Amino acid sequence: MKTVRNKPSWRTPIALSVVIIALVFAIVLSIPHLNLQIMKGVSEVDAAIISSLIGGTTGLAGILISGFIGLTIIRRDKFESDDAEFRAVCAALSAELSDNSSVFSYRMKSLIARQKLKEKTYEIDFEQMPVFCTFVYQASVDRIGLLGPDFAREVVALYGRTMVWSAFKKKTCNKAELTRYADRAEGLSALCSALASELLKASELGIQHNYEGVMGT
């Protein structure tokens, strides 16, 4: 699974410009003995038409070449803007997920510590545990698309899993249920850490970053 967005290259407009110039020369050279015919007394009207044809073709070629070059400049400027925003979003999400990894790690350790008490039932107050954050994610929802389909899908999926915990307030559970909560917290801590690392790497490499995935989605 990869998300790659390459910077617009100058190769295409240069290649098209070369083709257009070659076509212009071909058109001009295809008019048989043009200079000779004009020298032999071709009417002024015919000569004017031929000159206009050559001039129009040359002008059209210039317009097309300018258009290709202008479009490439616009695309490269847009790429630079998107790349800067991509890096900023990745860096911010990386920091938030890194903090969330620590939150879930703490929750896991707290739940494991409760297991050692060997009680028949366990009263778990999730509201007293550190809270995971989604401020950066919520502020960046409209820009998640910059990450590309694979990267964005994993970010959304992971935050979706973490948000399920927001519904947990106080729970009375047995040891098996407590173990499941601890395992889930451990898994989310690992995923948050892995995705935070990928996002940090992406913020350094930019929008051309190759992303292989950490969640297997």
Taking only the tens place, the pLDDT of each residue in 125-177 is: 877 888 888 899 999 888 888 888 888 889 999 998 888 877 777 778 888 88
Percent of the chain whose predicted confidence (pLDDT) is above 90:
17
Residue found under tokens 């860096």: 91
Could you tell me whether strands 170-173 and 122-125 are parallel, antiparallel, or unpaired per DSSP bridges?
Answer: antiparallel
Residue range 176-202: average pLDDT? 89
pLDDT at 217 over 90: no
Alpha carbons within 13 angstroms on the beta-carbon side of residue 128 total 7
